[in-house]
Amino acid sequence: MLRPRDTPTRECTPLNGLWRFAVDTDGVGRTDGWWRRALPGRREAPVPASYNDLFPDPAVHDHVGDVWYQKVVRVPSRWEDRRIVLRFDSATHRAVVWLDDTEVAAHEGGYTPFEADLTDLVEPGAEHRVTVVVDNTLTWQSIPPGYVEQTPDGPRQRYFHDFFNYAGLHRSVWLYTTPRTHIDDITVTTRLAGSTGTVDYRIHTVGDEEHEVRVVLRDADGTEVAQAAGPTGELTVEDVHPWRPGEGYLYQLRAELRGVGEELADVYELPVGVRTVAVEGSRFLINGEPFYFTGFGKHEDSPVRGKGHDDAFMVHDFALLEWLGANSFRTSHYPYAEEVLEYADRHGIVVIGETAAVGLNAELGATLAGAVFSTFSDDTVNAATQEVHRQAVQEMIERDKNHPSVVIWSIANEPESTTAASRSYFEPLVDHARRLDPSRPLGFANFMSATPDNDVVCDLFDVLMLNRYYGWYKDLADLAAAERHLEAELLAWTRKHDKPIIMTEYGADTIIGLRTIVPTPWTEGYQADVLAMYHRVFDRVEAVVGEQIWNFADFATAPGVLRVDGNKKGVFTRERRPKTSAWQLRSRWQEQR
Ligand code: GCB
């Protein structure tokens, strides 16, 4: 799915800023047809942002169900004869959209874009009312799953993942044009052979068939390096400048659609990084060279805006990664805003892209929601959930397939992976992901109690991604035992599978400013000791090809006795102040560069 862009044949206008906003406390908006007139009340909310922390009101913070956004939009009069599209980069977790009185789109899933073609409904030059209802409810059939408990005080949302259920319009909303006959999708994959690079492309067009596709590839200086014609083909680049970690070199692919008289019907420009990714035994190769991941599991999370995308936080976070010498992160636990992946492409940061399938695990349900259930059953995670999950995998791959920064697809975080039911659940999802993208390795982040002895799904995947908390949830304050147990487990994995291991989570909650002489959990010193212990072990186990600490920064969660105003495993606080471990990582990672 192509991101909206200004090109010689296309225009896009962001609809960000303040929208009218109403919380549908009584759940009457859909039956009362709130889209037909101005929303009730006087509230306004910024887009992009989560709505939960905007108002000093627990009823908004903990609302379960629908909220409404509305904006009156003038369609530029010069847009006559154009195809006009309304696009939401995300609506968490599902939405229905109306243009004036007409429903134009509905979408399930909170972290991928969706669109409505408004061409036949809008009058260029006129004003139109855009209304969106966004529902934050998590059910057994949503990704991520959850359930709503009816209590005497109203509904309470329960879920099995460890981050606050922020909701709303977290990313940009766009009104954009394309020509009626237009380029609808582009897929590129790249190869390297010595100093020659190849870009294989596939271009999907919609509309009049009497058009020809032309493709030109330019280097970063704008010099043409290859061209081709036809909807599929290859572009060969001699003396190629590969996309490399730490140096995000990009070519520009310009795809043109030309009519019979050579007139330009449509143009789309796509940044392309020429690189390869492969797994060979227990090595992870980028451009044929062993790659070692350093960095973090992150969250889209900041004060006041919650999960709303923010360019300032994005640039700052990337700058902090660079300051540390980190080369990668995982989009735990959902696909991030496209701006983030584009930035990673340009700056050579390596990304593990993850779906929002987090919490498909009864053991976590018991810990985080005090709920007793079987993970996979007709009444819990079932065939309908699997279909929503399949769709989530597909939408992530369709959106992010052209980003050179993305080198692994993670199709879930810490699901149950020790039962026959889990294997039947994951097998078709893995097949589907491989069909959609045979070029990238697959993984999932494996839960601590799934060990080499009881795991039944890791053989389906290319990379072992382990989340482990020795020294915290196990062996707390006994780092000697933690070190023995961690090393023993890693070696057991290497005996079972000849695959690369990335430690996708490890760490310890840490309150900034808390210091003791005797090693004590929650102190800055203890976090540094835990990380140092892991690093000693990683340096002894050859199959370990990556270390991604949990977490880059402290983040908001649902209340819990183990959570002090959120999860404090950040190397930075939520405001991005460094804890002691930041300097320790900086010296380790800068040296490894
Ligand atoms: C995990 C989860 C992550 C949690 C983390 C923790 O295993 O994947 O979402 O936040 O543990 O801190 O408990």
d(CA 146, CA 164): 12
Please indicate whether residue 57 or residue 260 has the higher confidence score (pLDDT).
Answer: 57
Residue 142 in tokens = 């949503």
Distance between CA atoms of residues 455 and 462, nearest Å: 15
pLDDT of residue 101 exceeding 90: yes
Q: Which CATH code of 3.40.190.10, 2.60.120.260, 3.20.20.100, 3.40.50.300 fits the domain covering 12-178? A: 2.60.120.260
In angstroms, the CA 292 to CA 286 distance is: 10
Query: If you search the block for the tokens 């059939």, which residue do you land on?
Result: 141
Residue 542 has what pLDDT? 98
Residue type, 25: T
- Angle, helix 338-347 to helix 311-324, in steps of 10 degrees: 40
CA of 569 to the centre of ligand 1 (A): 9
pLDDT band at 110 (very low <50, low <70, confident <90, very high): very high
Beta strands in 320-389 (DSSP E): 328-330, 350-354
Q: Which amino acid is at 178?
A: T
What contacts 24+ positions apart, CB below 8 Å, involve 10-13? 10/176, 10/177, 10/178, 10/179, 10/266, 10/267, 10/268, 11/76, 11/79, 11/82, 11/176, 11/177, 12/174, 12/175, 12/176, 12/177, 13/76, 13/174, 13/175, 13/176
CATH class label, 278-592: alpha beta
pLDDT band at 368; cut points 50, 70, 90: confident
Pocket probe mutation, ligand 1, options 550, 564, 569, max atoms within 8 Å of Cβ: 550
The pLDDT score that the predictor gives to residue 523 is 98
Read off the pLDDT band of 369 (50, 70, 90).
confident
What is the per-residue pLDDT for 267?
Answer: 98
**What is the mean pLDDT of the segment spanning 153-181?**
97
Whether residue 300 has its Cβ less than 6 Å from ligand 1: no
Do the domains at 12-178 and 182-275 have one common CATH topology?
no
Whether the CB-CB separation of 37 and 221 falls below 8 Å is answered with no
Q: What is the mean pLDDT of residues 371-396?
A: 97
Q: Inform me whether the pLDDT recorded for 589 exceeds 80.
A: yes
Contact 311, 278 (CB under 8 A): no
Helices 420-436 and 383-400, axial angle in degrees (round to 10): 30
Cβ of 505 closer than 6 Å to ligand 1, yes or no, is: yes
List Cβ neighbours of 527 (8 Å cut-off, separation of 6 or more): 507, 508, 509, 510, 569, 571, 579, 580, 581
Residue 30 has pLDDT above 90, yes or no: yes
- For position 592, what pLDDT does the model report? 84
DSSP string, 439-503: TS-EEEEEPTT--TTT--SGGGSSSEEEE--BTTTBSTT-HHHHHHHHHHHHHHHHHH--S-EEE
Give the pLDDT confidence of 290-328 residue by residue, as tens digits: 999 999 999 999 999 999 999 999 999 999 999 999 999
Asked if residue 361 has its Cβ within 6 Å of ligand 1, the reply is no
- pLDDT score of 370: 86
The tally of CA atoms less than 13 A away on the side-chain side of residue 316 is 16
**What is the tens place of the pLDDT at every residue in 184-240?**
999 999 999 999 999 999 999 999 878 999 999 999 999 999 999 999 999 999 999
Q: pTM score > 0.75 for this model?
A: yes
The residue to which tokens 């020509």 are assigned: 179
CATH of span 182-275 = 2.60.40.10
Separation of alpha carbons 577 and 137, rounded Å: 33
Predicted local confidence at residue 430, as pLDDT:
98
Mean pLDDT computed over 404-427: 98
Q: Are 105 and 114 in contact (CB under 8 A)?
A: yes
Contacts of 576 (CB under 8 A, 6+ apart): 313, 316, 317, 320, 553
Which tokens sit at 236?
């060969």
User: 593 pLDDT exceeds 80?
Assistant: no
Q: Where are the domains of the chain?
A: 12-178, 182-275, 278-592
Q: Is the CB of 330 under 6 A from ligand 1?
A: no
**CA of 412 relative to ligand 1 center, distance in Å:** 13
What atom in ligand 1 is closest to the CA of residue 509? Answer: 12
Query: What pLDDT does 209 receive?
Result: 76
Phi, psi of 274 (to 5 degrees): -95, 110
Grade residue 260 by pLDDT with cuts at 50, 70 and 90: confident
Q: CA 122 to CA 409: how far, in whole Å?
A: 39
Counting residues of the chain whose pLDDT is more than 70, the rounded percentage is 100
Q: Which residue has the tokens 């699901």?
A: 415
**Residue 208, pLDDT score:** 81
pLDDT of the residue at 210: 85
Taking only the tens place, the pLDDT of each residue in 480-527 is 999 999 999 999 999 999 999 999 999 999 999 999 999 999 999 999
* pLDDT over threshold 80, residue 450: yes
Average pLDDT over the chain, rounded to an integer: 97
Per the annotation, the verdict on 505 as an active-site residue is yes
Question: Quick one: pLDDT at residue 416?
Answer: 97
Q: Which atom of ligand 1 lies nearest, measured to the CA of 555?
A: 10
